[in-house]
């Protein structure tokens, strides 16, 4: 009976690992650069003062601020779906991707600014601890998978090719 479940389990595991690899890749190559980009805005004094205020906000205010981008971007995502419904698929997808990038940048920055307030909520601290432990386990499993190793090799090859091309195109 166990043999019957091996193939479906392997297929499900590969699908899960592929999905997890996508999530990890988005976090590694999306969350960090977008959050760093949002941090650059703090060099402008009004944004710097706002960030200082956010850092020192009470925990409940910090929680509301942390959730604000999801609420504020919801109408934009509805607009994107409406555009897709109207047949403006490309524009709708571009709006969704822009909203996701903007949301990721601001949620990431807000998390950095509010983490110390947010972990005062026991449920948040437990959830964050669970997420980080789960992410490490999944990341370890994903990074040992053939799919990830193949993607890493491809990325290295592309990087080498780009470096060679840029050297060849540079004036001597």
Q: What is the pLDDT along the chain (172 residues), one digit of tens a residue?
A: 577 777 788 788 777 777 776 766 666 667 777 788 888 888 899 999 999 999 999 999 999 999 898 888 889 989 999 999 999 999 999 998 888 888 888 888 999 999 999 999 999 999 999 888 887 887 788 788 787 788 889 989 998 998 888 887 777 6
What is the number of structural domains in the chain? 1
**What would the two tokens of residue 94 be?**
């571009």
**30 is a domain residue:** yes
Residue with tokens 């540079």: 170
**34 is a domain residue:** yes
**108 is a domain residue:** yes
Residue ranges making up the domain that contains 90: 2-121
**141 is a domain residue:** no
Could you tell me which of 45, 46, 22 has the C-alpha nearest to residue 151? 22
Please give the model's pTM, rounded to 2 decimal places. Answer: 0.65
Q: Is the dihedral of CA 31, 70, 130, 108 positive or negative?
A: positive
**Residues written for the chain:** 172
Phi/psi of residue 170, each to 5°? -70, 140
The DSSP secondary-structure symbol of 43 reads: G
């Amino acid at each position: 009976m166990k043999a019957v479940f091996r193939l479906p389990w392997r297929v499900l595991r590969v699908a899960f690992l592929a999905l997890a690899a996508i999530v990890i890749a988005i976090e590694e190559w999306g969350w960090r650069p977008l959050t760093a980009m949002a941090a650059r805005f703090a060099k402008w004094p009004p944004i710097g003062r706002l960030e200082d205020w956010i850092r020192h906000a009470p925990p409940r205010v910090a929680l509301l601020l942390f959730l604000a981008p999801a609420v504020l971007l919801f109408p934009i995502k509805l607009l994107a779906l409406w555009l897709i419904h109207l047949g403006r698929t490309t524009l709708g997808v571009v709006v969704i991707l822009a909203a996701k990038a903007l949301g990721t940048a601001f949620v990431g920055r807000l998390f950095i600014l509010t983490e110390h307030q947010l972990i005062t909520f026991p449920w948040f601290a437990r959830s964050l601890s669970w997420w980080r432990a789960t992410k490490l386990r999944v990341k370890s499993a994903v990074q040992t998978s053939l799919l990830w190793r193949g993607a890493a090799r491809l990325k290295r090859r592309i990087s080498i090719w780009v470096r060679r091309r840029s050297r060849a195109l540079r004036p001597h």
